[in-house]
Structure 1
Amino acid sequence: MEKPMHPQRVTVWCGFWSGGIIRPFFFENEQEAAVTVNNERYRAMLNEFLLPKFEEEDTDDIWFQQDGAPCHTANAIDLLRTVFENRIISRNADVNWPPRSCDLTPLDYFLWGTVKDECYANQSETIQKLKHEIKVAIDEIRAHIVENILKNWIDRMGYCAASRGSHLNEIVFQV
C-alpha cells in the first residue's frame, strides 16, 4: 500500500528536445492525487502521452535519453524502440546510461532547477496552483534558451567521452 511521506506533492515528467520542451505530464490517480512512478505508470505515460506526440514528427535523428531510474528502464526499452530504434541512451539499451551521471541530462542540470526556482518564489498554496506554476515556468522558457542548453549538452557529451566516463570537473556547476 502506497502512503506518501508528504501528502501535498506533484510527480511530474517533461521532455526536452530541439523542438522545445514537451509539456509536463503529471503522474496522478483518478482523484488527481500524485502517485509514485513505477514501471506500469511510466509505460502508460509513454504509450498515451509521449509516443503519440512523435507519430507526427520526423524522428529519424532524435535520440531518447533517460536516466537510470529503475522504473524508466524496466521493460520500457522495447516500447521505445518502436519509435527511436537503436537511438536510446538508457540502462540496458544500445548506449548505456553512465552511472551516477545526473549532470548529463538537461532536465536535471537545467530544467528542474529553473522550474523549482520559479515555483518556490511564488509559494503556491494548493496543488492546482503549483501545477499551474510548473506549466507557466516551462512555457516561459524561450527557444534560444533551449538552443543554448542543447549546445551545452553537446559539450557535456564531449567531456564525458574525453574523460572516458570519469568525473566531469570541467562542467560542474556550469551551464
Structure 2
Amino acid sequence: MGIGGNRLIGPFFIDGNLNGDKYLDLLNNYIIPAIQNNGQLPHNLWFQQDGAPPHYDRRVRGLLDATFHNRWIGRGGFIEWPARSPDLSPLDFFLWGYLKSRVYVCRPTNL
C-alpha cells in the first residue's frame, strides 16, 4: 500500500512470502499501473521503499531505474534508504494506524 498525492494506492495482496519474483510482478502489474491510473506519471514523483530483500533484487532495481530514473529512494537506489529512519516513512505515521482502524471496525469474536 502506498500514498500518492492525496490518494491511497492499494492495498495489494500476494499468496505466501514476498520474494523478488513476486515483487517484480507486483510492481509491473499492479503498483506502477495504479500510479499511472491515479493520474501521476512516474517521472513526476518519488518512489520510496525500504531495504527489504525483495526490494533489493537486481531486476527490481533495474525496473525502478527504468521507470523512475533517479527518483526512487531505497537500498541500491539513487538515494539510499537511511537505516532505522522512521522520519522518512509516511506509512509508519499514517497508514498502519489507518489500516488497524479499518480492520477492527468489527471486533473479532474469537482469536
TM-score higher than 0.5: yes
8 Å Cα contact 1:67/1:102 also seen in 2: no
| Runs of 4+ off more than 6 Å | none
Deviations 1:53-112 (A, max 9, x none): 344633332000001111112221111122211101001111000001234211122101
8 Å Cα contact 2:4/2:35 also seen in 1: no
Q: 2:52 aligns with which of 69, 85, 92?
A: 69
Q: Does 1:47 align with 2:34?
A: no
8 Å Cα contact 2:56/2:75 also seen in 1: yes
TM-score when scaled to structure 1? 0.54
Q: Does 1:22 align with 2:9?
A: yes
> Cα distance, 1:18 vs. partner?
0.6
TM-score when scaled to structure 2? 0.82
- Partner Cα separation in structure 2 for residue 106 and residue 40 of structure 1: 26
| Equivalent residue, structure 2, for 1:60 | 43
**Residue ranges of structure 1 left out of the alignment (5+ in a row):** 1-13, 29-34, 126-175
8 Å Cα contact 2:9/2:35 also seen in 1: no
Most deviating of 60-69 and 114-123:
114-123
**Residue ranges of structure 2 left out of the alignment (5+ in a row):** none
Q: Does 1:37 align with 2:28?
A: no
| Equivalent residue, structure 2, for 1:167 | none
